[in-house]
Amino acid sequence: MDHSAHHTGTAHDHATHDGHEGHEGHADHGGHAHGGASWGTAAKATLHCLTGCAIGEILGMVIGTALLWGNVPTMVLAIALAFLFGYSFTLFAVRRAGLDVKTAIKVALAADTVSIAVMELVDNAIIALTPGAMDAHLSDGLFWSALLGGFAVAFLITTPLNKWMIERGKGHAVVHAYH
């Protein structure tokens, strides 16, 4: 499929964008999409974002815990790395598509900021509210169950948000203009 019409820097309607793998569930493929965003598309966008967030957050938790930092500096590092890795996944993808660095950064920020922020808010709130999780060590099952449970809940909350944003040409929809 010729994507040259999509390289204008604006998002496009996914319902008219047949032929992209991973965009299953469009209205013309049996989905319940309104405005072109299927639940499958939203879930895939959320998983993409969650992968970067999870890598950054786990790395931050491991580093902070290994360095015997307190809860606050460890969470700050984990959140910062979650944003860094979350943005980097999109940044590298759109750079491979030929965007210059400045434009790629703008696309990554537009595509992922809300999604990452909501995921981090939900995930860290669950960790903070789980009794004992903040004081658990890396070898404790409580540490990992709170962290992974937080990711699961964050995914469930963020997916409908991403669907809503994609339907409006925001969030992850911005990335599709470049591939």
Q: pLDDT over 70 for what percent of the chain?
A: 78
Q: What is the pLDDT of residue 144?
A: 92
Find the Cα–Cα–Cα–Cα dihedral 125, 120, 162, 5, rounded to 10°.
Answer: 170
Residue matched to tokens 């979350």? 86
Q: What is the pLDDT of residue 170?
A: 86
Reported confidence tier of residue 16, pLDDT bands at 50, 70, 90: very low
Q: Return the exposure string of 77-95: e unless at least 16 CB atoms fall within 10 Å of the residue's CB, then b.
A: bbbebbbbbbbbbbbebbb
Predicted confidence (pLDDT) at residue 2 exceeds the cutoff of 70: no
Q: What is the mean pLDDT of residues 110-135?
A: 92
Find the Cα–Cα–Cα–Cα dihedral 81, 79, 159, 146, rounded to 10°.
Answer: 110
Q: What's the pLDDT tens digit per position in 50-94?
A: 999 999 999 998 899 889 899 899 999 999 999 999 999 999 988
Q: Average per-residue pLDDT in the chain?
A: 81
Q: Return the exposure string of 26-63: e unless at least 16 CB atoms fall within 10 Å of the residue's CB, then b.
A: beeeebebeebbbbbbbbbbbebbbebbbbbbbbbbee
Residue type, 113: T
Q: What is the pLDDT of residue 179?
A: 57
Residue type, 136: A
Would you say 52 and 86 are in contact if contact means Cβ atoms under 8 Å apart?
A: yes
**pTM score above 0.85:** no
